[in-house]
Chains A and B, each alone.
Chain A
Amino acid sequence: EADIYQTPRYLVIGTGKKITLECSQTMGHDKMYWYQQDPGMELHLIHYSYGVNSTEKGDLSSESTVSRIRTEHFPLTLESARPSHTSQYLCASSDSFRDQETQYFGPGTRLLVL
């Protein structure tokens, strides 16, 4: 079982609020990822990190930001939430040198912005 955690699991929040979605892993993986998924749609990569102090934007444009100050921690922040941000957000991690970089996923955060 993968040791990757996300909090909160569910979040209902009003428009304009700042939110931070937490993701942490205890496997020592160097790479971490954030995906966004709308119902019935693919997982879309919005951010990734190849190591501490490395962050890149993914294929899907997102107004969120991320940071990677510690190997195990990869939080995602929305400065001002809007209804269009309503979605499911999944965090994942992988080891560059193992399993052809199989990604291990957290349980996700379901975000609803009113």
Chain B
Amino acid sequence: ILNVEQSPQSLHVQEGDSTNFTCSFPSSNFYALHWYRWETAKSPEALFVMTLNGDEKKKGRISATLNTKEGYSYLYIKGSQPEDSATYLCAYAGGTSYGKLTFGQGTILTVHP
């Protein structure tokens, strides 16, 4: 059973704050790590996919880093806005489950105006 853990479970920040959260995953037989944003009443939306140790990806105010040797990824949001409020999911592809994703529980971010 693959273990993908995200922390914290939930986070409340003020508009303008920068924030980050963590995804940990098995470091062996790694293939890819995905980040998704899931807003209420919408479909999960793909943010990033990372495959190489040391990868950094950026999309506007959101960026992510990857450490495959120790099995973690960080997602950073700079200058949070209320529209960033969502659940952020990470998903691991690797091991014997090649082609399938194992999701973490998600981090629920609420940005207060």
Contact = CB atoms under 8 A, between A and B. Distances in A.
B104 A103 contact: no
A58 interface: yes
A106 B104 CA distance: 19
A43 B100 contact: no
B20 interface: no
A42 interface: yes
A48 interface: yes
B42 A58 contact: no
A103 B46 contact: yes
B62 interface: no
Given A43-B89, A45-B100, A100 B43 contact: no
Which among A33, A41, A105, A106 has the greatest number of chain B C-beta atoms within 10 A? A105
Task: Sort chain B's interface into a size bin.
Answer: 20 to 34
A72 to B, nearest CB: 17
B101 interface: yes
Q: Chain A contact residues (Cβ within 8 angstroms of B): what range?
A: 20 to 34
B60 interface: no
Interface centre among B43, B99, B102, B106 (most CB of A within 10 A): B43
A99 B100 contact: no
Interface string B76-113: 00000000000001010100010111111110000000
Nearest to B108: A40
A76 B49 CA distance: 28
Contacts of B42: 107
Contacts of A45: 100-102
Contacts of B43: 2, 4, 90, 104-108
B82 to A, nearest CB: 22
6 residue pairs, one from A and one from B, having the closest CB atoms: A105-B43, A43-B103, A105-B44, A100-B32, A100-B49, A102-B46
18 contacts: A4-B43, A31-B99, A40-B105, A41-B105, A42-B103, A43-B103, A48-B100, A58-B100, A59-B97, A90-B43, A100-B32, A100-B34, A100-B93, A101-B99, A102-B49, A103-B91, A105-B43, A107-B41
